[in-house]
Structure 1
Amino acid sequence: MSRYPLHTIDTAPAASRPVLEQLQQAFGMVPNVAAKMAASPVLINGFIGLFERVHASSLSEPQIQTLLLTNAVTNASEWPVAFHSALALKAGVPRAEVDAIRHGVLPDDAGLAALSALARTLIEKRGRLSEADQKRFLDAGFSDEQILEVIAVVAASTITNFTSSATHPPLEAQFETFAWQASAP
C-alpha cells in the first residue's frame, strides 16, 4: 500500500476537499495526482491557487498545455505527460506538435517552439536564463511579462511533476492511450 492514499472528496482532509470538488467540476473527475496531493492541504491549496493564476494569464490554453507537456517531459514525469498530452490535443495543439514534445523535440510551430524551449531551458538551467535565452523568446513575439508567466507555469507544473514522481498515481483509463515512459537516466 502506498503511503499516499488515492483520496476521494469524502476521504480527503477537510481543508483539501474544496479543491477536489473544484477539480471534479472542471474535469468531470478528480485527477489521480490531485487525489494523492490531497493528503497535504498545504500542497493542494498552493497548487490550485497557482494554477488558477496560470490559466488567467495572457497565454492561450494551447500555449499553456504546450508548456505543461514540455515540463512533464523535461522532468521525466510519466503521469503528467499522459494527462497533458490529452489536454493539449483537446486544447487544439496539433498531434504532430504533441508527439514532438513527447519525444523531446521542439514543435514546428515557431510560437510553440519558443515556449517549449524556454520552459525546457528554465528547468535544465534551474531558472538561470541568460540574456540570449530571453532574447530568443522575445524575438518570437512574446513579452517580458510572458517570460514571468512561463516561470509561473513551470512552478505550477513542478508541483504536479514532483508529486507524481513521489506518489506514483495510477493512470486513469481515459489517459492510457497517452501513457509515456521516461527513458532511463
Structure 2
Amino acid sequence: MFTEHTLETAPPASRAAMERTAATFGKVPDAVARLAESPELLNGFLELSAAFERTTLDPVAREVVIMTVAVRNDCHICVAMHTGKLRKLGAEAGLIAALREQRELGDERLEAVRQFTLEVLARAGGVGDDALKAFLAHGYTERNALEVVLGIGTYTMSTLANRLTRAV
C-alpha cells in the first residue's frame, strides 16, 4: 500500500536524507524508501536517531534499548537491522538471542538497561523510585535515564511507522 520511493519519486524534502542513507548503506533501505512519503517523519527519525547515538550511554546499552523496543513492538525489520548492528559491535550471540527472545540478559548492567526500558514503557514514564534506584545502582546516571527515554521515543516512532508501512 505505501509507496517504496526512489530518489526520483520521493518528495523533494526526503531526497537528501535518502541520499545520505544510500551513501551509508550502499542502497536506500526499504524502510527509508517507505518513510520518505513523510519528509517530516523521515528527517525527524534520522535526526533523533543521530541524537541518540551521541548520548552518554555506551553503544551496546543503546542497542539494548532499541532491541527492547523493537521486539516489544514486533518490528521485524528493526530487529534484523539492530541484530546486525549488535554483531558489528561484537556483542555475544547469547546476548542477542536473549534480547530477541525477551529473556533476562546475562550481563547485569545491560539487564538493568533492559528492565528500566521496560519499566518506562509499562508506566508511561511514571517509574517508581525503586526502579530508578535499581537502574542508578548499576552505575547509570539520571542523564542516562533521560537518554533511555530519548531512545524509546525515537524507536517507538520508527517501529510503529515501519509496521504501518509494512517495511521489510
What range describes the TM-score normalised by the shorter chain of this pair? over 0.9
SS at 2:74's partner residue? coil
Deviations along 1:52-83, one digit per CA (max 9) or x if unpaired, are: 11111112222211211111011122221111
2: CA distance, partners of 1:28 / 1:62: 24
Which deviates the most, 141-150 or 89-98?
89-98
Residue 139 of structure 1 aligns to which amino acid in structure 2? A
**Which of 44, 49, 52 does residue 50 from structure 2 map onto?**
52
Q: In the alignment, what sits opposite 1:178? A: none
Count of residues paired in the alignment: 168
Stretches of structure 1 that go unaligned for 5 or more consecutive residues are 171-185
1: CA distance, partners of 2:133 / 2:73: 24
Q: In the alignment, what sits opposite 2:13? A: 15
1: CA distance, partners of 2:20 / 2:131: 36
- Work out whether residues 68 and 154 of structure 1, in 8 Å CA contact, stay in contact via their aligned partners in 2: yes
- Work out whether residues 23 and 30 of structure 1, in 8 Å CA contact, stay in contact via their aligned partners in 2: yes
1: CA distance, partners of 2:45 / 2:29: 13
Aligned structure 1 segments of 4 or more residues deviating by more than 3 angstroms? none
Question: Structure 1's 106 and 10: CA in aligned 2 closer, same or farther, altered over 3 A?
Answer: farther
* Cα offset, 1:127, TM superposition: 2.0
Q: In the alignment, what sits opposite 1:94? A: 92
- Work out whether residues 33 and 160 of structure 1, in 8 Å CA contact, stay in contact via their aligned partners in 2: no
Residue 63 of structure 1 aligns to which amino acid in structure 2? A
2: CA distance, partners of 1:26 / 1:133: 38
Residue 59 of structure 1 aligns to which amino acid in structure 2? L
TM-score by length of 1: 0.86
Residue 73 of structure 2 aligns to which amino acid in structure 1? N
Q: For the aligned residues, what is the CA RMSD?
A: 1.3
* Cα offset, 1:18, TM superposition: 1.2
Deviations along 1:59-114, one digit per CA (max 9) or x if unpaired, are: 22222112111110111222211111111111222110010011111211112111
Q: Percent same amino acid among aligned pairs?
A: 28
Residue 138 of structure 1 aligns to which amino acid in structure 2? L
Stretches of structure 2 that go unaligned for 5 or more consecutive residues are none
1: CA distance, partners of 2:104 / 2:28: 31
**Which of 77, 80, 84 does residue 78 from structure 2 map onto?**
80
* Cα offset, 1:16, TM superposition: 0.7
Residue 150 of structure 2 aligns to which amino acid in structure 1? A
Which deviates the most, 130-139 or 24-33?
24-33
**Which of 143, 146, 149 does residue 148 from structure 1 map onto?**
146
**Which of 114, 117, 123 does residue 115 from structure 2 map onto?**
117
Q: In the alignment, what sits opposite 1:108? A: 106
**Which of 142, 163, 166 does residue 165 from structure 1 map onto?**
163
